Amino acid sequence: MTLIDVHLHAARLPTLKPAWQAWADDFGDPDVLGEVYDDAGTVRPAAFERYLAREGVDIALVLAEYSPKATGIQPIEDLLPLTAANPARIKAIANVNPHLHYPIEEELRRQLDLGAVACKLHPVHAGVAANDPSLYPAYELCQAAGIPLVVHCGTSTFPGSMNKYADPLFLDDVLRDFRTLNIALAHGGRGWWYDAAAFMALTNERVWIELSGLPPSRLRTYYAQHSWQRLTRKMIFGTDWPGVPGIARNARAVAELCPDEETAALVLGGNAAQVYNLKPTG
């Protein structure tokens, strides 16, 4: 099956706060981190690409993030050596923060021109509700460009986070105002919003559950109130690397939970290919 991981943080460590580095150390594989990072805390493009190939990842989407109050800065420029190492396998996702970027649509356009294939909004780390009018010019650009909006939808323990903004119901206004915009709920409602996220995904064809940061062994429990057969068909695989023991390990565990092979193929790659406009070559 095609494997697309839509949620990886391949950031330079010097740009990040100590809490982020502690998170990576606590949840990641130290051998892998030692393999792909150099002594200066920068991801080595060739080593990263080899790691992805070994894990069976056909396409990996690496995330920029501009959240100085919470995790630090993961500028898109730091991702360009990675995307250049193998443009078919590694692609970037843009991020905008209305507290830093103005006009916000100009910054998003700049990042899209650098090759980004989607835009991520991080309400919890940026400190802004998803329906804030300052974000609407970015949404208009996403819709016009036909790219998805990825929205962090779940609790965060990083100092400076504002978890009240993780509620997916803020997106109800956005879905009503942007009628063709696809929205992926990163972390799938982690914390207090699993039911809200699942309801939105099941009742709106443009809303998707993105699985990053969710242990596969807990998924059936998290979404126990909803039709598993229906909901799995609205899921998109992601890991939140490096905060995961292994990409292939997670992918196998998620596939085993799916009702059938057709659904597993959608979750591991088919839905992402459709929503993010990706064309796997493997």
Pairing label, strands 4-8, 149-154: unpaired
154 phi and psi angles, rounded to 5 deg? 170, 160
158 or 282, higher pLDDT: 158
Residues 102-148: tens digit of each pLDDT: 999 999 999 999 999 999 999 999 999 999 999 999 999 999 999 99
Which pLDDT band, with edges at 50, 70 and 90, does 282 fall under? low
Whole-number average pLDDT of the chain = 96
pLDDT of residue 24: 85
Reduced 3-state DSSP string for the chain: CCCEEEEECCCCHHHECHHHHHHHHHHCCHHHHHHHECCCCCECHHHHHHHHHHCCCCEEEEECEEECCCCEEECHHHHHHHHHHCCCCEEEEEECCCCCCCCHHHHHHHHHHCCCCCEEECHHHHCCCCCCHHHHHHHHHHHHHCCCEEEEEECCCCCCCCHHHHCHHHHHHHHHHCCCCCEEEEEEEECCCHHHHHHHHHHCCCEEEECCCCCHHHHHHHCCCCCHHHHHCCEECCCCECCCCCHHHHHHHHHHHCCCHHHHHHHHHHHHHHHCCCCCCC
Long-range contact set of residues 166-171: C-beta below 8 Å, sequence gap at least 24: 166/123, 166/124, 166/190, 166/191, 166/193, 167/193, 167/196, 168/193, 168/196, 168/197, 168/200, 169/196, 170/123, 170/129, 170/130, 170/131, 171/130, 171/131, 171/200, 171/207
- Whether residue 276 is predicted with pLDDT greater than 70 in this model: the reply is yes
Write down the pTM of the prediction.
0.97
Residues 231-243: tens digit of each pLDDT: 999 999 999 999 8
The span from the CA of 33 to the CA of 131, in Å, is 37
Residue with tokens 């990886």: 8
- Evaluated on CA atoms 193, 134, 65, 268, the torsion sign reads positive
Average pLDDT, integer, range 19-47: 92
The amino acid sitting at 272 is: A
pLDDT of residue 21: 84
The span from the CA of 252 to the CA of 104, in Å, is 39
Which pLDDT band, with edges at 50, 70 and 90, does 206 fall under? very high
First to last CA, the chain: 10
- Residue 46, token pair as written in the block: 């060739």
Angle at 57 between CA 17 and CA 182, to 5 degrees: 75
The span from the CA of 21 to the CA of 279, in Å, is 33
The span from the CA of 90 to the CA of 58, in Å, is 9
Average pLDDT, integer, range 192-204: 98
Average pLDDT, integer, range 176-182: 98
pLDDT of residue 100: 97
